[in-house]
Amino acid sequence: MARQMVTETEYELMKVLWKAEKPLSLGEILTEVREKNWVRNTVGTMLSRLCDKGVVAYERKGKTNLYYAVLPEQEYSMNETRSFLSRLYHGSVGTLVASLYQNKEISQDDIAILKKIIDGEK
C-alpha cells in the first residue's frame, strides 16, 4: 500500500482502532478519546478523512457505522520510519545511529541490542 499521510490528530484515532479487537462505532471511539475533549463532529470528520485516504473503512450495521483500520499498524510504522530516514538522514540508518550516539541519545544497552540484532542473535 502506498504511503498515506496521517496527521498527528488522525494518528490518535488510528491508535484507538488498532488497539480495538473489533470495529468500533463513533460513540465507542469518542469514549476512548474522551480525555481529548473532541466533539462528535470533529471525530466524525477525521474518520471520514481517514476513510477517504483508504487507511480506515467501515461496515454499516443498522443505522451505525462501525470503523476499523485497513492499514496495519506495523505497515504504518515502517512507512513512517522510511519517510523519517529519507527526509532527515538521506535514507541512512548508520547516519541516524551516529547522530544518536554523538548526541548521547543512545545507551550502551541500546548499542548491545543493536549488535545482537546485526549479528543475528536473539
Query: Residues 34-91: pLDDT tens digits?
Result: 999 999 999 999 999 999 999 999 999 999 999 999 999 999 999 889 988 999 999 8
May I ask the CATH architecture of the domain 73-118? Orthogonal Bundle (1.10)
Query: Residues 27-36: pLDDT tens digits?
Result: 999 999 999 9
Q: What kind and span of H or E run contains 43? A: helix 40-52
In 61-74, which positions are buried (b, 16+ CB within 10 angstroms) versus exposed (e)?
eeeebbbebbbeee
For the chain, what are the domain ranges? 8-69, 73-118
Could you check whether 8-69 and 73-118 share the same CATH topology? no
Residues 6+ apart with CB under 8 A from 69: 14, 17, 18, 55, 56
May I ask the CATH architecture of the domain 8-69? Orthogonal Bundle (1.10)
Strand partners, 23: none
Cα gap 56→109, rounded to integer Å? 38
Residue 122 pLDDT: 62
